Chain A
C-alpha cells in the first residue's frame, strides 16, 4: 500500500509548497556555490591549474608571498635536484594599451618550465579575458616601470590571480619593473610528502591560497552562506514535517491502534521527504547547470557536476535528519490518546 504516494496525490498543494521551498533554497545554494567557485577561479586559477605539488616561500615572509625572496643559490640547488620544479614570482600591476587605457593585471614570471608560459624579452602572453576586452595579438603594451614595450604574443585560457588577468612576462622585464633579482616562490610538482629546505616553508596549493587574505575572506563568507542555506533547508524539513506530524497525530494514533508498525509510518514520511527532495534538487541542479553553460562571460560562475552532486547528497542527508528528528512525535503517539481525541 503506497500510503506516502496516496497522501501526496491527495494533498498536492501542501507538498507542492514544501517542494517549492526546497527547490528555491537548493537553487540558491547551487547558484551561490557556483559564484563561490567562479570567484575562487577568478581569484586563484593560476594556482589551481597547477598540478598537485608543494609551493615553497621563505619562512621570513611569514606567509605573505610577495614578501618572500628565495636565495638564488638555494633556488639553483633545488631546481637542479628537481628538474620539473619551477621558481616563479607574482606581482599585481598595470599595462597600458595603445589608447593609453590602463589594465590591471597580475604579472607572472618563472624559470624555464612547462607549468608557466615562457616568453622572450619584450613579449607578453595574456589571459583570454583581455582579448575579449579588445587587445589583439601583435598589440604593443607599456608599463610605467619598464623602459621597453611588451608585444602581445598570445592568450591563454583561465589564467587569473586576485581577480586580475595574468600577464606572463620574461624574467628580465620583471626584474626591471620590480627591481628584484630573487624569485618569490618555488613549485615542486608531485604528490609525495613535503620536503624540508632550510629557511623555506612548504604549502599545499590549498594552504597557499589560504595565505592570501582576500581569497580566504571571500571564500569563507561564501562558504558560510552555502552552509547556512544547507542548514536552513534541514530546519525547513524538520519544521514542515513537524507541523504535518502535529496535524496527523490523530491519524497516526488510529493507524497504530489498528496495528500499523511505527516503522511503516516513518517509512511513509521518509518516502515523501525523498520524493520531494530528489524532485526539487533535480530541477534546481538542471537549472544551475544550464546557467553554468549559458552564464555571461563577465559573471564568475563555475559549478562542477561533482559539487552539484555533493551538495545534493548533503541536502538529502540534512532532509533525512530533519524529517527523522520531527518524526520522534510519531514514536510518542499513543493510540488511546488519538481515539479519545475524536474525529481526525
Chain B
C-alpha cells in the first residue's frame, strides 16, 4: 500500500478574469522508502504539485492521502503539525537560520517536531546525523561561514533529524555545481535509504534522475508518463 497518494489534484488561479489551470487532475502515489523524481519543463506544474503534497498550499480539488488520512480535510494547525513531525524539506536554497549554528539548526527542528528525547539524547542524535552528512566537524559554525554545498548538507540534516516519513526536495541541487550536485544527491539517497524515508523530489537536472526509483514526467499540468 502506498504511504502517500494524490488523487485527481487540480489547482487553478484566477488572474483578473482569466482562470488559469496549473494542475489538471494529477494522480500520484509514493511507495515507502523510495525516491520519486518529478521532471518537466518550467511551468509544467511540478513544483506546484510538490507544494500541495507538502501541505504548503491547498489544492483546488482532489485528495491528498497520507497514512490513509485525507490531508485536504485537515485544519491549518493539523497540517502544520504533520509538516513539523512527519515531513522534511530541502529547498533549492538551504534557507538556514542565519543566527543559529549548525548544531542549533538541528536542535530547532527537534523542538519544532516536539521531540520527546532529552537534551543529551538530542545532542547524540544530532551528532549522528551530522556525521552521516559529513558536517560533524562544523557543528559550531554559522551559515555565513559555510560553502553552498555545506549549507545544503546542513539543510538535508535538518530535514531528516526528526526522522520524517516523507522528504520533499524542491530542486535541491539547482544552486550547486555538477560535482556538488552529485554529492548532495548521493547523500539524499544514502540518508533516505538508511532511515527508510520516502522522497518526492522536483528536478530539471537529468543527471540526477539515475538516483530516483521512479520518474514522473509532467507537462502542462498533467502526468505524461511514470
Contacts and interface: CB of A to CB of B under 8 A. Distances in A.
A10 B51 contact: no
B100 A6 contact: yes
A259 B112 contact: yes
Interface stretch (B1-9, B89-97, B181-189): B89-97
Interface stretch (A51-59, A198-206, A298-306, A334-342): A334-342
B113 A336 contact: no
Given A3-B100, A257-B89, A259-B84, A339 B170 contact: yes
A258 B83 contact: yes
A333 B134 CA distance: 33
A336 B80 contact: no
Interface of B: 51, 54, 56-57, 80-81, 83-85, 87, 89, 91-95, 97-100, 104, 107-109, 111-113, 142, 158, 170, 175
A11 interface: yes
Contact of B57 (A6, A251, A336): A336
B50 to A, nearest CB: 10
19 contacts: A1-B104, A3-B108, A6-B100, A7-B99, A10-B98, A10-B99, A250-B95, A251-B95, A254-B95, A257-B83, A257-B89, A258-B158, A259-B80, A259-B83, A259-B113, A261-B80, A339-B92, A343-B94, A344-B93
Given A10-B142, A260-B112, A255 B97 contact: yes
Given A259-B81, A259-B84, A259-B113, A336 B56 contact: yes
A134 B57 CA distance: 82
A7 B100 CA distance: 8
A9 interface: yes
A185 to B, nearest CB: 65
B181 to A, nearest CB: 17
Nearest to A339: B91
A260 B51 CA distance: 17
Contact of A335 (B56, B98, B109): B56
Interface of A: 1, 3, 6-7, 9-11, 250-251, 254-261, 335-336, 338-339, 342-344
A344 B99 contact: no
A262 B88 CA distance: 19
A155 B11 CA distance: 88
A-B interface, 6 closest residue pairs, ranked by CB to CB distance from nearest = A259-B84, A10-B99, A343-B93, A254-B95, A259-B83, A1-B111
Dominant secondary structure of chain A at its interface with chain B: helix
B107 A344 contact: no
Nearest to A8: B99
Contacts of B98: 10, 251, 344
Contacts of B85: 259
A288 B206 CA distance: 69
A1 B107 contact: yes
Contacts of A255: 97
Contact of B99 (A11, A250, A260, A335): A11
Nearest to B95: A254
Given A6-B99, A339-B56, 20 more contacts: A3-B97, A7-B99, A10-B99, A10-B142, A11-B99, A250-B95, A251-B97, A251-B98, A254-B97, A257-B89, A258-B83, A259-B84, A260-B108, A336-B51, A339-B92, A339-B95, A342-B92, A343-B94, A343-B175, A344-B93
Contacts of B80: 256, 259, 261
A10 B175 CA distance: 26
A198 B111 CA distance: 75
